[in-house]
Structure 1
Amino acid sequence: MAGFDLDFSEIKDMNVTDGKYEAVINSVAEDATKGGTQFINLDLIIRNDLKGQKFGNAHIFTRIFKSKETSKYPIGMIMAVAKAAGMKDKSHFDSLEDYFQKLWHRPVLVTVKNEESEYSGKKYENLNVKRWEISKFPEVQHKFKESSKETGSTDPFANGGQSIDIPDDSLPF
């Protein structure tokens, strides 16, 4: 086996800086904090199909929390994401899951800012989405890494793995 040499000049800074980025919605799902507060979790990927855009393939994670007063998601944020994703006004969705599926892999233009927050005495650095806009490049040519959603498989080992047969007599139990 051939060796390799370290070359730290090859390190790519993936700490996304403040600014505007053309991104694609990689996934959308409902989730909850350890304390039970529900939120919509959006995973955006900075597009790799646009020349001159830094941080291609970096992920931007953002959440839309349910209101503590109403226990509902802020409708303005739901509409802002849909509009930025290029959905048509007055579109109908059968469920929140239907809405999530229709957002999948749609392009958006987001403005992000690195901000410090504090929770329970601890300080955190967060990359927050401050503005959602319609993409200036609606034709997505982004190259995604192969995932179970794209292959239609729910098996996390299905991507390129080969099955092996292990005879019962070779097992220690």
Structure 2
Amino acid sequence: MAFLTTDYKENKSNDYGVLPTGNYEMIIAKAQETATKNGAESLQLDLIVRNDLDGVPALAETNKKYHNRHVFMDNWKRKATSQYDMQGFQYILDAIGVPEGTQINSIDDFLSVLTGKVAKVFVKKGKNEYNGNATDINQVAPWNFSKSDYPQSNHQFKEAKQVGGDDPFANKGQAIDISNDDLPF
């Protein structure tokens, strides 16, 4: 009996290039602050093309074709003020349905408000030139966020997220009960 018989009909294209320009229904998988080696800070959003809308005919050329693809959006702190563009954040908050007048007390609260929310996002295909080399990139501006046409999300993340007891760092700062006989040294 053979170990393996080749069968390529289930192979799919591995086109991981940039997304074509258009509107995509997306979920904000992660929101975090990042910094470069030189100290330039940004708020980065990891946007994922939703995979729960494959059956919507109007999204056949966007979400169905490109579901689970990531697009990263950086909102850099302004050098002159060392502050984020708060007006840009207003577009995102409006699109994800945060009620008018809601106070957000810290950057951590802001990141929590964003994570897991859905929006329709206009993604633009552009060029980035660096050291004489031009590469295709995706660009998303805060004003390119709008309310999702499908606000109920059933998106299934490809990577399983660890919750509670499965997280090795869930009990950070608490004593661990282990005997000397269990230690390898």
TM bin, normalised by shorter chain, reads 0.7 to 0.9
Given the alignment, which residue of 147, 150, 161 partners 2:161?
147
Aligned partner of 1:81 in structure 2 is 92
Distance 1:154 1:70 in 2: 38
- Does residue 67 (structure 1) correspond to residue 67 (structure 2)? The answer is no
Given the alignment, which residue of 100, 117, 121 partners 1:106?
117
**What CA deviation, in whole Å up to 9, does each residue of 1:13-62 have, x standing for no partner?**
34321100000010000001222110001001111111233211111111
Q: CA deviation at 1:95?
A: 0.7
Q: In the superposition, relative to structure 1, how do residues 122 and 155 fare at CA in structure 2: closer, same or farther (>3 Å)?
A: farther
Structure 2: stretches of 5+ with no match in the other structure: 170-181
**What CA deviation, in whole Å up to 9, does each residue of 1:126-170 have, x standing for no partner?**
10114111111111111123123xx145449xxxxxxxxx9849x
Q: In the superposition, relative to structure 1, how do residues 135 and 39 fare at CA in structure 2: closer, same or farther (>3 Å)?
A: same
Aligned partner of 2:174 in structure 1 is none
Aligned partner of 1:49 in structure 2 is 52
Q: In the superposition, relative to structure 1, how do residues 69 and 97 fare at CA in structure 2: closer, same or farther (>3 Å)?
A: same
Q: Which amino acid aligns with 1:11?
A: S
Aligned partner of 1:2 in structure 2 is 4
Q: Is the 8 A contact 1:14 1:55 kept in 2?
A: no
Q: In the superposition, relative to structure 1, how do residues 94 and 3 fare at CA in structure 2: closer, same or farther (>3 Å)?
A: farther
- Does residue 90 (structure 1) correspond to residue 101 (structure 2)? The answer is yes
SS at 2:20's partner residue?
coil
Aligned partner of 1:23 in structure 2 is 26
Q: Which amino acid aligns with 1:25?
A: I
Q: Which amino acid aligns with 1:86?
A: G
Percent of matched pairs sharing the same residue: 29
Q: Is the 8 A contact 1:48 1:57 kept in 2?
A: yes
Aligned partner of 1:163 in structure 2 is none
Over the residues paired in the alignment, what is the CA RMSD in angstroms?
2.4
Distance 2:51 2:21 in 1: 18
**What CA deviation, in whole Å up to 9, does each residue of 1:86-113 have, x standing for no partner?**
1111111121111111111111100011
Structure 1: stretches of 5+ with no match in the other structure: 157-165
Q: Which amino acid aligns with 2:102?
A: S
Aligned partner of 2:137 in structure 1 is 126
Give TM-score scaled by structure 1 length: 0.80
